[in-house]
Structure 1
Amino acid sequence: MMRMKTKTTAMPPMMHDNSAAGRDRTAADNEWEVRPGGMLVQKRNPDSENRPPPPPIRIRVKYGSIYHEINISPQATFGELKKMLTGPTGLHHQDQKLLYKDKERDNNAFLDISGVKEKSKIVVVEDPLCQEKRYLELRKNAKMEKAAKTIADISFEVDRLAGQVSAFESIISKGAKVVEKDLVKVIELLMNQLLKLDGIAAEGDVKLQRKMQVISALAERFEIFDSLL
């Protein structure tokens, strides 16, 4: 009796993009990850997350002609290293550029993934553009804080004068008379506050909104005066 032989046809393998462009796209996609806080950092090997933290390494950081020896975790980022260098170098971390192997390194890049190891040398230089940008931002914030304080002081004074206006209104509503000189004095004080307010360059929606609120309060006071005079 003859046995029938059945030939099994293998399923064709799944198609993979083995081109150089495909490999580059895959590598680029797997190179970065978003941390829970929203920071974009280089992706680490998932297996390394379950391992105990590695011991710190000692690296040499050159600033000018001076070398600083820093103990740091190899899993730290260059941004974290900048903050550690603020004390030894006297440079604000936002004013620093870190060069490793003659290449500037991103703040979110990890030391070990970038090849930094025991006794590696890193160069820190001052970034004048970042320094100027930070100074301009500080000056802008200081100016805005000063404007906010001035507006708050004017608002307080307007509220105080509003109490006098209400007192005048109450006196007149009872049929009594108010000394004209007192009315003129309060009007002059309100005008002075209006001039101060007009000289403030309010930047930002919040500052502008607050300024308009005070102007509205001043206008209301003047309307009451028109009804009293």
Structure 2
Amino acid sequence: MMKTTKKAPPAFAPLKTAWSVAATVAVGSPPAKDPEWEVRPCGMLVQKRNPDTDTAAAAAAVAPPLSIRVRVKHGAASHEIYLSRQSTFGELKKLLSERTGLHPQDQKLVFKGKERDSAAFLDIAGVKDRSKVVLTEDPAAQARRVLEMRRTASMEKAARAVSHVSLGVDKLAAKVDRRRRCS
């Protein structure tokens, strides 16, 4: 005859059912929904979470505003510009050119004591809501633009003169052509 041995129950048996904890309900309030519980693989009993609401609430609480207000000082004038955090200094220059009348290439933007490149992003440079930026005119860029405008103006003038002479030659060619037909 063979002896049968009984197996001892395991020291730890994972729970397979969901547990509910009785919530205390105040008089006159609707009964609260019992939280659901789950057993983690390590054996810890924890309250179930809804990942959609938790991450959305956390993101809304932590996320900075989509647009920021930048204070720009230009001489005695001060301007407040609203733009996206991910904008570049070049986009800020375009918005400032509408208000100041300065061409974006003639502007220098100084933030935290450094001149910033037009391609640099505001958020990477550390510009936050209500940050202060100083706008100065770049005299060298202004001089370059004036020289370029003079050069293009002289080229346009020469092109107009050439087209005027060409028009005169075409008229004379038409007259010569008519006279040849008549003779």
TM-score (norm 1): 0.50
- CA distance in structure 2 between the partners assigned to 1:73 and 1:61 by the alignment: 15
Cα deviation for residue 127 of structure 1 reads 0.3
Cα deviation for residue 142 of structure 1 reads 1.8
- CA distance in structure 1 between the partners assigned to 2:151 and 2:76 by the alignment: 35
Q: Return structure 1 stretches of 4+ with deviation > 4 angstroms.
A: none
- CA distance in structure 2 between the partners assigned to 1:62 and 1:123 by the alignment: 5
Matching residue of 1:160: 171
- CA distance in structure 2 between the partners assigned to 1:77 and 1:105 by the alignment: 10
Query: Computing the radius of gyration over CA atoms, which structure comes out larger, 1 or 2?
Result: 2
Matching residue of 2:13: none
Cα deviation for residue 54 of structure 1 reads 5.1
Matching residue of 2:134: 123
Matching residue of 1:146: 157
Q: Secondary structure at the match of 2:87?
A: coil
> In structure 2, what residue type is equivalent to 1:124?
L
Cα deviation for residue 150 of structure 1 reads 1.5
Structure 2 residues not aligned, in runs of 5+: 1-62
- CA distance in structure 2 between the partners assigned to 1:138 and 1:106 by the alignment: 24
- CA distance in structure 2 between the partners assigned to 1:134 and 1:141 by the alignment: 10
Matches within 5 A, 1:200-211: none
Q: Do residues 88 (structure 1) and 63 (structure 2) align?
A: no
Q: Do residues 70 (structure 1) and 81 (structure 2) align?
A: yes
Structure 1 residues not aligned, in runs of 5+: 1-51, 175-229
- CA distance in structure 1 between the partners assigned to 2:64 and 2:71 by the alignment: 21
Matching residue of 1:132: 143
Cα deviation for residue 148 of structure 1 reads 1.3
Matches within 5 A, 1:1-229: 55-171=66-182, 174=183
Cα deviation for residue 152 of structure 1 reads 1.1
Aligned residue pairs total 121
Q: Secondary structure at the match of 2:125?
A: coil
Q: Percent identity, aligned pairs only?
A: 55
TM-score (norm 2): 0.61
Q: Between Structure 1 and Structure 2, which shows a larger proportion of strand residues?
A: 2
